[in-house]
């Protein structure tokens, strides 16, 4: 259950971050001294880039989570082996 909450929190954070970045980019483009046609073309490019980034984000998050899980399991197994009851403490 805690693992699900972490995924939801990370997903919410990532979504908020990307949307904030998009809003900032939009404001910067709208206040830049360009023609309307150039600004619209840039906004279209930014929107396409954002869409592509959002499509890749879930897979990247899952891969990072899987790597973190494996690293955590390896660290746990190593620590467990170091404090095994069969270890000689003489």
37-72 pLDDT, tens digit per residue, is: 887 888 788 888 888 887 887 887 888 888 888 888
CA-CA-CA-CA torsion sign (66, 67, 68, 72): positive
Domain spans in the chain, listed from the N-terminal domain onward:
56-81
Q: What pLDDT band is residue 2 in, cutting at 50, 70 and 90?
A: very low
* Residue recorded with tokens 């082996």: 81
Helix, coil or strand: residue 89: coil
Question: What is the pLDDT at residue 1?
Answer: 43
The larger pLDDT score, comparing residue 32 to residue 77, is at 77
pTM here? 0.39
Q: CA of 69: how far to CAs of 5, 63, 65, 77, 89, in Å?
A: 15, 10, 6, 12, 31
User: Quick check: helix, strand or coil at residue 60?
Assistant: helix
**CB-CB contact of 22 with 44 (8 Å):** no
At residue 83, φ and ψ (nearest 5 deg) are: -115, 30
């Amino acid at each position: 259950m805690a693992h699900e909450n972490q995924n939801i929190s990370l997903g919410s954070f990532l979504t908020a971050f990307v949307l904030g970045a998009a809003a900032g980019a939009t404001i910067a483009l709208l206040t830049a001294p360009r023609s309307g046609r150039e600004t619209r073309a840039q906004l279209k490019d930014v929107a396409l880039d954002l869409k592509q980034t959002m499509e890749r984000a879930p897979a990247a998050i899952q891969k990072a989570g899987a790597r973190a899980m494996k690293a955590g399991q390896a660290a746990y197994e190593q620590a467990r082996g170091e404090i095994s009851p069969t270890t000689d403490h003489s």
